[in-house]
Chains A and B, each alone.
Chain A
Amino acid sequence: MTLAIQLRHRVGGFDLNVVFDAPPGVTVLFGRSGSGKTTVVNAVAGLIRPDSGHIRLLDRVLVDTARGIDVPTHRRRLGYVFQEGRLFPHLTVRQNLAYGRWFAGRARGGPDTDRVIEMLGLGGLLARRPQTLSGGEKQRVAIGRALLARPQLLLADEPLAALDEPRKAEILPYFERLRDAAEVPILYVSHSAAEVARLATTVVVLEAGRVARQGRAAEVLSDASVLPAGVRGAGAVLDARVRRHHADGLTELDAGGVALFLPGLTHGPGAALRVRIAAHEVILARGKPEGLSALNILPGRIVSIRQGSGPGAMIVIDTPAGRLLARVTRRSVQALELSEGVTCHAIVKSVGIAPEDVGAPGAV
């Protein structure tokens, strides 16, 4: 395990009590605001001292309250990307980047300055001050600054939350690249299902200060019962590969042998992708539908049906492409006589897959 955490902490009326492990890759702490995500990350960073607990990073114990161990923040060898960037206003971009590198001093490993500048596209910004940067540029510098401190773990607390959609789309690929380069493990806080789907190798779902569920991204995300973002945020993640681009602007993907058609992607043939399919974009049919405009039809078998008191139901379907989530009405469940084990077809409109839901695959 890269990171092993066991924490108890009380602040006001809030009681945090979590135990989880983070393997290499991106571990996303996922939950509503107020579920304790930031508290966990701040405890790892040493910005708060937990009432009791144990935190181990690789072979180093950072916190062990029973033995009185509490490594000060500046000796923990972390990189922390904050929601608001927190760049030093009195330093240039170049000096901001150099800050952590200088203190890392003799520490070995990690990417060198030139590579980070190139990877994050910071070359043109070096002489500027943080106040003159856009939100997206600030976050790129903040990521670079954290990486150059040669951290053994990168912490990111909702690094995209303060950005608008185009800026989010600008920053997300950098985190994907970091994950795929596998140079540094990442503990990433988010309440966005789309971010989790694109980034996570491991998901830890927090609810009211407790771990509600943890596991590999594909498993956790296809479990409708634990999604804290509610039914609106629910969606399954499929791994796919680009087969070819069609003349009419569609891109054909291969997901476990099934063809998926998406509006034109820029990835070359053979490129591996992660596609998130939102549950509310999926239609179910008992027989193989014909005369339908939707291009993507996946045969499958119903694994589970969850219904609450509302009019909706969440259905998990096993298909050759992977697990899908479908959000349908309870009326449809009765009309189609859907139940566990029943075979059906899942239908997804090509344009129902948002461009921001297509990303690079996770290295696991």
Chain B
Amino acid sequence: MGLGPEEWQAVALSLRVAFWATALSLPLAVFVAYALARWHFAGKQLINGLVHLPLILPPVVTGYLLLLTFGTRGPVGSVLQDIGIVLAFRWTGAALAAAIMAFPLMVRAIRLSIEAVDPGLEQAAATLGASRAWVFATVTLPLILPGIIAGTVLAFAKAMGEFGATITFVSNIPGQTQTLPSAIYAFLQVPGGEAPALRLVIVSVAVAMSALVLSEVLARRVARGLAGA
């Protein structure tokens, strides 16, 4: 089964979009998850709602809101354009859309694992001389690693498959913004496109399965480390 150049392009672009969407949102997701799990502050419910909004809104709505905000004439997009960054109809925009759609899944998984960490351990670390940053790096972070792995894999898979928000925000330009799902959709719109569409479907399934297996292996290794075998 050989992939044509256009199909390869779509696969490579999807991997790139999903990688950057996941990598760049991970630190923010850990921060937001920590804040939601451990801090009490005004507007906590509002933040919680905003984070989860992409999960409940129709993806097309999220994509359209992105277009309004980050389009070249939008309030944020016009500012970004002045400093030379354009997101609309570029692969970077696809990455932004994927990141926003995957964010709630990532935050949820990490937040659950943070809530499972006994704050008593963090207190114990503080009495032993560790500042807050050190407590986080040496106690909290290692203990929530399984949750971070799970959240990252989930977010990566979601980013690979994002369709509605992406196509609304950055359209479906081959080589530019045509990700795997957009390519499958495009092939299905033209006569004789079933064969390439099917090949891409198989690639999709393979990538998703590998991600799942990888996360299983990593999670098991971390769990073994925590259990002390």
Interface residues in chain A, defined as those with a beta carbon under 8 Å from any beta carbon in chain B: 45-47, 72-80, 82, 84, 86, 88-90, 92, 99-100, 103-104, 128-132, 145-146, 149, 155
Contacts and interface: CB of A to CB of B under 8 A. Distances in A.
A131 B227 contact: yes
B31 interface: no
Contacts of B129: 74-75, 77, 100, 103-104, 149
Interface string B103-127: 0000000000000001011011111
Contacts of A132: 228
A279 to B, nearest CB: 37
Contacts of A78: 127
A45 B227 CA distance: 30
B228 A128 contact: yes
B130 A84 contact: no
11 contacts: A45-B123, A47-B126, A73-B123, A74-B128, A80-B124, A80-B127, A86-B124, A99-B130, A99-B138, A131-B228, A149-B127
A79 B129 CA distance: 9
Contacts of A76: 127
B127 to A, nearest CB: 4
Contacts of B142: 90
B223 to A, nearest CB: 11
B128 to A, nearest CB: 4
B130 A90 contact: no
B12 interface: no
A84 B126 CA distance: 16
Contacts of B128: 74, 79, 99-100, 103, 145-146, 149
For the complex of A and B, list the 8 residue pairs with the smallest distance between their C-beta atoms, beginning with the closest.
Answer: A129-B228, A103-B129, A100-B128, A80-B127, A73-B126, A86-B124, A90-B142, A149-B128
A74 B226 contact: no
Nearest to A131: B228
Given A100-B128, A130-B228, A89 B143 contact: yes
Q: Interface centre among B125, B126, B135, B139, by most A CB within 10 Å? A: B126
Nearest to B123: A47
B117 to A, nearest CB: 10
A88 B139 contact: yes
Contacts, number: 75
Contacts of B226: 89-90
Q: Interface centre among B135, B138, B225, B228, by most A CB within 10 Å? A: B228
A84 B120 contact: yes
A89 B121 CA distance: 9
Interface residues of B, number: 23
A311 B116 CA distance: 51
A190 to B, nearest CB: 19
A92 B135 CA distance: 17
Contact of B125 (A84, A88, A129): A88
Nearest to A145: B128
A86 B125 CA distance: 9
Contact of A90 (B126, B127, B132, B143): B143
Nearest to A99: B128
Contacts of B143: 89-90
Given A88-B139, A92-B228, A74 B120 contact: no
Given A129-B228, A131-B227, A88 B121 contact: yes
B8 interface: no
Contacts of B120: 82, 84, 86
A130 to B, nearest CB: 7
A146 B138 CA distance: 17
Given A74-B130, A103-B129, A149-B129, A129 B124 contact: no
A90 B225 contact: yes
B120 to A, nearest CB: 5
Contacts of B132: 74
Contacts of B138: 99
A82 B124 CA distance: 8
Interface in B122-159: 123-132, 134-135, 138-139, 142-143
A35 to B, nearest CB: 21
B133 to A, nearest CB: 10
Q: Interface centre among A75, A82, A88, by most B CB within 10 Å? A: A88
